Every structure is written in C-alpha cells, then in structure tokens.
C-alpha cells in the first residue's frame, strides 16, 4: 500500500466533511476512501479492514459532500416531539454530481490535491 493524502478545495476554499473515493480501473484492486477534516485534508484507507493507503494503479476519484442541515432538528420540532414530519432536506452540495477525476497512485508517498471550481 502507498500512503495517499491531499486537500480538497471548492472554489479555492478548504472543503470539510467530503467523502473522497478512489475507484480503481482494475476490478481486481481495492477501492480506497477517506473523509476531509475541517481544513479540507484527507488520508486514504483501503478495503474492509481500513488499511492505510491505496494500491499502485489508476483510479477515478469522486467526491460526495455531506452538507450539514441549516436547520437544527430540535429547534425545528423534529427532535422526537409530537411533530412526526420528516426534517427538511439538507442544502444542495456545491460539488456537481458528475464531478470525477482520473488519477494515478504511484509507488511511495502520494499527495493528490483535488479542486472543484
């Protein structure tokens, strides 16, 4: 496994709480994923056991932003009281659904920064 880390930015700003997924071109390889912190940085782990890094090879990277709801469920009346309505939908992600990027993971340490414009 090769260590892989980087930073995700959206419009030049660090992107927090983004799921970063590396899907291998070769189906015999394991996918790898990580989640960004508040500063937009991520570190990949692979497979069910969460081994650090990713295998050497070609991948397609996708991003999924976990947008936080702008409304506190407790204040909106969704916190288990008499209101049984579903909470409002989360705000739209600022990452296009079709955003992807081909990348190569090389032997050794890899820094792969990902920018969404």
Domain ranges of the chain: 4-68+95-116
Protein fold of 4-68+95-116: Immunoglobulin-like (2.60.40)
Q: What distance separates the 2 farthest-apart alpha carbons in the chain?
A: 57
Answer whether residue 71 shows pLDDT above 80.
Answer: no
Asked whether 64 and 42 are in contact (CB, 8 A), the reply is: no
How far is Cα 24 from Cα 69, in angstroms, rounded to an integer?
32
pTM greater than 0.85 (yes/no): no
Asked whether 16 and 47 are in contact (CB, 8 A), the reply is: no
Which residues does 13 contact at the CB level (< 8 Å), separation at least 6? 40
pLDDT higher at 77 or 24? 24
- β-pairing, 4-10 vs 110-111, is parallel
Residue where the block lists tokens 């705000």 = 91
pLDDT in tens, 4-50: 999 999 999 999 999 999 999 999 999 999 999 999 999 999 987 88
pLDDT higher at 71 or 16? 16
How far is Cα 42 from Cα 44, in angstroms, rounded to an integer?
7
């Amino acid at each position: 496994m090769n260590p892989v880390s980087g930073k995700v930015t959206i419009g030049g700003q660090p992107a927090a709480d983004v799921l970063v997924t590396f899907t291998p071109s070769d189906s015999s390889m394991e996918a790898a994923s990580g989640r960004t912190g508040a500063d937009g940085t991520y570190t990949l782990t692979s497979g069910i056991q969460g081994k650090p890094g990713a295998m050497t090879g070609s991948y397609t990277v996708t991003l999924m932003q976990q947008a936080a709801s702008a409304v506190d469920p407790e204040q909106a009346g969704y916190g288990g009281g008499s209101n049984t309505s579903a909470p409002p939908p989360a705000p739209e992600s600022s990452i296009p659904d079709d955003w992807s990027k081909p990348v190569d993971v090389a032997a050794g340490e890899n820094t792969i920064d990902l920018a969404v414009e």
